[in-house]
Amino acid sequence: MKEQKVSFKTAKLAKEKGFDWECTDGYGSEGTEYFLEDYEDGDILFDNWNHLEYGYESDRICCISAPTQSLLQKYLREKYGIIVTSDPVIGLSDLKYSYNIYKKDNLWRITKFTAKQWDIYEEALEEGLYEALKLI
């Protein structure tokens, strides 16, 4: 099973919100993907794309780390006490998913949820991760 990388939109917001964990994959500042599996030799020197810039001084391109969805979930949980879940919507004939965001204050409580539904688990999770980052 291949882990799902977060979208460029989510990765960009994660960087803005201070995400600074090691990732072997990244995006260029315009969304170009730099994924480890794209390199045949597998020898890539970057372990944190958020610290990488390249190009001439007048035309610097900043890179953005592209964590997996599960790594970003772990980051939000460990650093901010935010849990993001993608859950099946019960009572429908077709399987659909939504997301929930929980935050630990004195008790765990639901902070944000959506009535919107997605056909794919990872799409609901992606939206939940993006919305959770906006809470920081």
125 phi/psi in degrees, rounded to 5: -60, -45
- 54 lies in a domain? yes
Q: Which residues contact 57 (CB under 8 A, 6 or more apart)?
A: none
Residue 53, pLDDT score: 53
Task: Identify whether residues 16 and 59 lie together within a single domain.
Answer: yes
Our CA angle for 20, 52, 62, nearest 5°, is 95
Same domain, 93 and 80: yes
Domain boundary among 47, 65, 83: 65
Going by C-alpha positions, the residue among 19, 17, 24, 20 that lies closest to residue 3 is 24
My answer on whether 59 and 75 are in the same domain is no
Q: Are residues 75 and 129 in the same domain?
A: yes
Which pLDDT belongs to residue 58? 47
| Whole-angstrom distance, CA of residue 111 vs CA of residue 38 | 38
pLDDT at site 73: 97
**Residues 84 and 53 occupy one common structural domain:** no
13 shares its domain with 56: yes
In a domain, 2, yes or no: no
Are 17 and 44 in a shared domain?
Answer: yes
3 occurs within a structural domain: no
Total domains in the fold of the chain: 2
Residue 34 lies in a domain: yes
DSSP readout, 11-55? HHHHHHTT-----S-EE-TT--EE-GGG-TT-----S-GGG-EES
89, 102: one domain: yes
- For 100, the enclosing helix (H) or strand (E) is strand 97-104
Q: List the chain pLDDT tens, one digit each, 136 residues.
A: 678 999 999 999 999 999 988 887 888 777 877 766 555 454 545 555 555 555 444 444 567 888 999 999 999 999 999 999 998 987 767 889 999 899 877 656 676 667 789 999 999 999 999 999 998 9
What's the domain range around 26?
8-65
